[in-house]
Structure 1
């Protein structure tokens, strides 16, 4: 797995260069919305805390699963655990769908590898899964929003109050449509995306912070 140096940079923009922005928005969390795993951090007491989920893990699988029996929805570790027993209703790699056209060569190639079904809805790729007794279709933004909601909930459990604002990292190759779709996912999750930052930029700034503070974290692709 490729590794990046850490979420710390996200908070420099907020706590130092954009101190006025922090006052305007209040607490802003940093989210690495990864293809396979995601993590969330918060700037508190002069340092960044990378927060643990209910499994005491600092990374959470970017997986969403739906039960064909009960209609229950699972996110994170619980969803990934469904992959072997409920593969056709366990969605992952939403980051590879978000903001793309159904005819995109990457989408068409990936579809051959995924156990879940992807359909064409007005030129956009949607995942088709069984939710209880019904089949439902979800845009990639909705799947990503569920993962973002999970990250939001982790932060709220740690802080003890509601979070409304976040900074999110995206790959440098993301085009405008993919960046806008990521922002839309944040809106669906109830988050105002204050800033979207390229992962390499995040890594470079965090490297400088590491030199200054001696602190190292990881971002996941």
Structure 2
């Protein structure tokens, strides 16, 4: 989505164009690396291209200049950006914290589905409580509340992560002698 404006959030900016980068193979969340390039030529034509770094898949769009913005509209856009700067920054921070929390929740949930047998019932309950608290903060908290819940969830899963690593190392080394390592 190509937008124009001075605000932190896309919803508060002017939409110029949209295009889709198709043909990217399924990847884990956050694994895709997209390089976006913007170029404006002498006639004001904006060219936007996106390329997925590992596969080389590309998409491109040209946005023709729009002369529909007069000075008063531009001035109002700038005033709005100053007026809403703190609110926009808080909302952006909250959104970023939410994305991080959801990613961690998904990873912990997946790990529990695979290796829950490594944990006692009490250990599982501690992690489950931390998961539920993090989900509650996503629904109701501000950015700092969400970051605090993430920290607590990470702390609650430290021992679980160590147990998982030990199991995986043990599996990798099983049946090998010292010379093979």
TM-score (norm 2): 0.24
Choose between structure 1 and 2: higher helix proportion.
2
Higher normalized contact order (CA 8 Å, seq sep 6+, divided by chain length): 1
TM-score (norm 1): 0.21
